[in-house]
């Protein structure tokens, strides 16, 4: 009998069956594995600091504020960077922009509303509450926009800053053009929050409804030692303490620009409270 007519040994058959089984199990457990990976990533983040605790801590607030600047990043020896804490994570209330998982036209547009709500509650030292309470608060922001802006979809950084000042009475709100990563980290290290408008499809969050939002906003509330920015991202129910590589967010940073988002201005909203 020639070699190609000989029956394959049973060990080969068993190995093939095992490969098939592993593949099927892997596909069926893909979501569970991804959740486990996400939870592990979040466990490695610095502990969240209460705003009141932060105010009474020894963390220096004598740090350079973000300012209109060129997008050039600082060198590794930049003294401003050296003066920052190695990592920080502010404890900011979270809500997804669709509290009841109803991703209708309203809620697909509520990233700005959810971002300002999270920031406002942080400075008010208030919780957002359950899904019903979050929904009511988001609808209140929508109604304020319709009354005062004439619309509620796709608000620019300037228009979103106005919501914080006028509806939520936060006095120290500034729109910053061309911030560097060090500018953003310095603001967060000083206990402030940063809202970033972004080309959502450049962010690449796997939990977004694909291909992702054309325009998005999220809250930057911390950073890690290994080059990540910690956010509350309202675009997914898993968005609390979501860490992105800093270069990903810096690249995605763009204002609405009448829908041409990828060519929109590089801006952030810095909120320093009342």
Q: What percent of the chain has pLDDT over 90?
A: 70
Residue 187 in any domain: the answer is: yes
pLDDT tens readout for residues 47-60 = 999 987 765 554 44
For residue 211, say if its preceding peptide bond is cis, omega within 30 degrees of 0: yes
The domain that holds 186 is classified in CATH as 3.90.70.10
Residue 153 in any domain: the answer is: yes
Number of structural domains found in the chain = 2
63 and 34 both lie in a single domain: no
* Alpha-carbon gap, residue 248 to 35, rounded angstroms: 21
161 and 243 both lie in a single domain: yes
pLDDT for 59 equals 43
Give CB contacts under 8 A, 24+ apart, made by 33-37: 34/206
pLDDT for 40 equals 62
Q: Which phi and psi angles does 141 have, rounded to 5°?
A: -65, -45
Q: Which of 271, 242, 268, 241 is nearest to 254 (CA)?
A: 268
Residue 155 in any domain: the answer is: yes
Residue 145 in any domain: the answer is: yes
Domain that residue 14 falls in = 9-43
pLDDT for 53 equals 74
128 and 21 both lie in a single domain: no
pLDDT for 123 equals 96
* Alpha-carbon gap, residue 111 to 212, rounded angstroms: 12
Residue 1 in any domain: the answer is: no
Contact 39, 31 (CB under 8 A): no
Residue 3 in any domain: the answer is: no
The pLDDT of residue 26 is above 60:
no
pLDDT tens readout for residues 199-232 = 999 999 999 988 999 999 999 999 999 999 999 9
Name the burial class of residue 260, with classes exposed (0-12), middle (13-18) and buried (19+) by CB atoms within 10 angstroms of its CB: exposed
212 and 127 both lie in a single domain: yes
102 and 164 both lie in a single domain: yes
124 and 143 both lie in a single domain: yes
pLDDT tens readout for residues 218-274 = 999 999 999 999 999 999 999 999 999 999 999 999 999 999 999 999 999 999 986
Q: Which of 249, 251, 254 is nearest to 267 (CA)?
A: 254
**How is residue 124 annotated by DSSP?**
H
Q: Which helix (H) or strand (E) holds 20?
A: helix 10-28
164 and 225 both lie in a single domain: yes
Tell the residue number behind the tokens 């080059």, with chain if given.
Answer: 227
* Alpha-carbon gap, residue 248 to 64, rounded angstroms: 23
74 and 117 both lie in a single domain: yes
111 and 74 both lie in a single domain: yes
What ranges make up the beta strands (E) of the chain? 88-89, 173-177, 193-198, 216-223, 228-232, 242-245, 267-271
233 and 178 both lie in a single domain: yes
Residue 248 in any domain: the answer is: yes
Residue 199 in any domain: the answer is: yes
10-28 and 30-43 are packed helices; what angle lies between their axes, rounded to 10 degrees? 60
Tokens coding 57: 């801590």
106 and 137 both lie in a single domain: yes
Burial state string for 38-74 with b = 16 or more CB within 10 A and e = fewer than 16:
beeeeeebbebbebeebeeeebeeebeebeeeeeeee
pTM, two decimals, is 0.81
Tokens coding 66: 């973000």
261 and 211 both lie in a single domain: yes
């Amino acid at each position: 009998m020639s070699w190609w007519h000989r029956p394959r040994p049973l060990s080969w058959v068993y190995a093939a069956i095992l490969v098939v089984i592993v593949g099927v199990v892997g596909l069926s457990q893909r979501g569970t594995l991804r959740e486990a990976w996400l939870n592990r990533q979040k466990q490695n983040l610095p502990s969240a600091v209460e705003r009141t605790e932060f105010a009474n801590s020894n963390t220096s607030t004598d740090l350079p504020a973000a300012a209109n600047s060129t997008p050039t990043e600082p060198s590794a020896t930049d003294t401003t960077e050296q003066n920052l804490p190695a990592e920080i994570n502010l404890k900011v209330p979270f809500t997804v922009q669709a509290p009841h998982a109803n991703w209708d036209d309203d809620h697909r547009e509520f990233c700005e509303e959810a971002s300002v709500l999270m920031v406002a509650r942080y400075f008010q030292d208030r919780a957002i509450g359950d899904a019903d309470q979050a929904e009511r608060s988001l609808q209140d922001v929508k109604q304020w926009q319709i009354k005062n802006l004439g619309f509620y979809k796709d608000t620019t950084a300037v228009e979103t800053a106005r919501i914080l000042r006028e509806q939520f009475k936060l006095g120290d709100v500034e729109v910053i053009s061309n911030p560097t990563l060090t500018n953003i980290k310095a603001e967060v290290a000083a206990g402030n929050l940063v809202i970033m408008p972004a080309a959502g499809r450049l962010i690449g969050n796997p939990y977004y409804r694909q291909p992702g939002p054309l325009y998005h906003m999220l809250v930057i509330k911390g950073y890690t030692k290994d080059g990540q920015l910690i956010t509350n991202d309202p675009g997914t129910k898993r968005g609390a303490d979501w860490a992105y590589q800093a270069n990903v967010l810096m690249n995605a940073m763009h204002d609405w620009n009448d829908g041409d988002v990828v060519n929109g201005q590089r801006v952030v909203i810095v909120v320093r409270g009342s």
